[in-house]
Chain A
Amino acid sequence: MSSTASKPDVVVLDYGSGNVRSAVRALERAGADVELTADLRRAMDADGLVVPGVGAFAAVARALREVHGDRAVERRLAGGRPVLGICVGLQVMFEASTEPGAGDAEGLGEWPGTAERLPAPVVPHMGWSTVEAPAGSVLFEGIADERFYFVHSYGVQRWEMVDTTGGRMTPPLVTWAEHGAPFVAAVENGPLSATQFHPEKSGDAGAELLRNWVRSLRSA
């Protein structure tokens, strides 16, 4: 065990989402010093910021803005400081959702694209699914063949980001899963990462993914 002083500190943004206790504990287990808070200063200063999210897209987007979580995310990303979105915390990094009631709710728009209802006979997609992680993934290092726990009815089914920098941009790493159609299971894009599944509920595989993320904070 490393000393407390050398542990990366992580803020789990507390904005009235459902069960966040598990995320806090899982991140602690992954080697971080974790604080659950909505304090903007702390959210901006921490080595890593986690944006959890359960429930409806519109409710999450609204609650996130109420605590100025959008500003915390923007400023951190502008400074190259890591942010990890989980579940609806992934979806709100995109522009929008077709979920009923989400019509006037904007996502943070860090990535182009829309969460749409999964075209499967049984929805929500609830359970442990495999993923297709690209080569070079940091999050999935050593666990690319594992299953992760998903609970969602909507998913981003098209990755629409195009490189307008003439190849100077480091291409984002997009991990896919499938339920009725392929959807984005995770994105690693510079300082911004996100997973549609719940790593904090995905047993040992999820713990390893969080360890991979927490480890990356040191070098960020």
Chain B
Amino acid sequence: MRVIPCLDVDAGRVVKGVNFAGLRDAGDPVELARRYDAEGADELTFLDVTASSDARETTYEIVSRTAEQVFIPLTVGGGVRTVADVGRLLRAGADKVGVNTAAIARPELIAEIADRYGSQVLVLSVDARRVQPGAPATASGFEVTTHGGRRGTGLDAVEWAVRAAELGAGEVLLNSMDADGTKAGYDLELLGLVRNVVSVPLIASGGAGALEHFEPAVAAGADAVLAASVFHFRELTIGQVKDAVRAGGHPVR
């Protein structure tokens, strides 16, 4: 079981707030990455939320500075549209690349990336939510969304995860847009539905707010748990989360 802190990075700076003592520069993703590494994070994820494509150069620079100093796996997602984007991130020092919207528009992108660099570099990120009243139903009751959960696609979230794994995604990051920001716990129903039909590793995301939220996600089938604000604001440490999961009988580093 892995614990993964996630940092939103905009034009080279951490956004969505970080509040933890002892950092010289809380906005510097590299310094935060080092801190989480020192605290026992199993991997790190950068979500690049940079809107302008000009500022993307900054992202590559941040990735290489991080890879020079942090010796745990680094996943970078956000705005990845082509095989060439993946190549650039890997050369900059990313170990895995997260793909989301571009794969919804063109699922073959998954196979193209997997053929070129192997499945293990490809994390399919799925922003899923319960189908809202009035919207067309899906078989699982969950649909894939885009634009940070604001736009539904009508695509069944569980079927999409299955299809993506078949096309070559090596891992699925399952982000519950219903749970995201609620701090009420991971969406265990969604996790269970995907776990039953997908055999690649599954990362639970969205909703982590308290120590007791992590072990149930692992029990529901998550191979990794991702969280952002609870770590950034020091509400919980990586070590506490690991202890809580270990107490449930799951192997932890």
A212 adjacent to chain B (CB < 8 Å): no
- Chain A residue contacts of B119, Cβ below 8 A: 124, 153
Q: Tell me if A122 and B200 are in contact (CB < 8 A).
A: yes
- Chain B residue contacts of A62, Cβ below 8 A: none
- Chain B residue contacts of A203, Cβ below 8 A: 37, 71-72
A185: min CB distance to chain B, Å:
15
- Chain B residue contacts of A26, Cβ below 8 A: 71
Q: Tell me if A127 and B2 are in contact (CB < 8 A).
A: yes
Provide the A186-213 mask, 1 if CB < 8 A to any CB of B, else 0. 0000000000001011111011000000
- Chain A residue contacts of B253, Cβ below 8 A: 128, 147
- Chain A residue contacts of B71, Cβ below 8 A: 22, 25-26, 29, 200-204, 206-207
Q: Tell me if A22 and B93 are in contact (CB < 8 A).
A: yes
Q: Tell me if A201 and B64 are in contact (CB < 8 A).
A: no
- Chain B residue contacts of A67, Cβ below 8 A: none
How far, in angstroms, from A49 to B252 measured CA to CA in the complex?
33
How far, in angstroms, from A152 to B90 measured CA to CA in the complex?
17
Q: Tell me if B201 and A122 are in contact (CB < 8 A).
A: yes
How far, in angstroms, from A59 to B199 measured CA to CA in the complex?
24
Kindly identify which residue among B42, B72, B170 contacts A124, using a CB–CB cutoff of 8 Å: B170
Provide the B32-57 mask, 1 if CB < 8 A to any CB of A, else 0. 00000100001000000000000000
- Chain A residue contacts of B118, Cβ below 8 A: 18, 54-56, 59
Q: Which of B117-165 contact A (CB under 8 A)?
A: 117-121
How far, in angstroms, from A200 to B70 measured CA to CA in the complex?
10
Q: Tell me if A201 and B68 are in contact (CB < 8 A).
A: no
Q: Which of A138-164 contact B (CB under 8 A)?
A: 147, 149, 151-153
B118: min CB distance to chain A, Å:
4
B28 adjacent to chain A (CB < 8 Å): no
Number of interface residues of A (CB under 8 A): 31
- Chain A residue contacts of B1, Cβ below 8 A: 127
Q: Tell me if A19 and B171 are in contact (CB < 8 A).
A: no
A152-B120 CB under 8 A given contacts A19-B91, A127-B2:
yes
Q: Tell me if B93 and A21 are in contact (CB < 8 A).
A: yes
Name, among B91, B117, B224, the residue most crowded by chain A CB atoms within 10 Å (CB to CB).
B117
How far, in angstroms, from A29 to B72 measured CA to CA in the complex?
14
Kindly identify which residue among A54, A59, A123 contacts B200, using a CB–CB cutoff of 8 Å: A123
In the complex, the chain B residue whose C-beta lies closest to that of A204 is B71
B178 adjacent to chain A (CB < 8 Å): no
A122-B199 CB under 8 A given contacts A18-B121, A128-B42, A207-B71:
yes
- Chain A residue contacts of B95, Cβ below 8 A: 18-19, 22, 151, 201
Q: Tell me if B224 and A127 are in contact (CB < 8 A).
A: yes
A55-B67 CB under 8 A given contacts A122-B201, A126-B223:
no
- Chain B residue contacts of A123, Cβ below 8 A: 199-200
Kindly identify which residue among B69, B73, B201 contacts A201, using a CB–CB cutoff of 8 Å: B73
How far, in angstroms, from A204 to B94 measured CA to CA in the complex?
19
- Chain B residue contacts of A21, Cβ below 8 A: 64, 67-68, 91-93
In the complex, the chain B residue whose C-beta lies closest to that of A127 is B2
A136 adjacent to chain B (CB < 8 Å): no
A136: min CB distance to chain B, Å:
26
Extra contacts besides A127-B1, A152-B120 (5): CB < 8 Å: A19-B93, A21-B64, A22-B95, A127-B201, A128-B42
The 8 closest A-B CB pairs, nearest first, are A55-B118, A128-B253, A21-B93, A147-B253, A18-B90, A151-B120, A126-B201, A19-B90
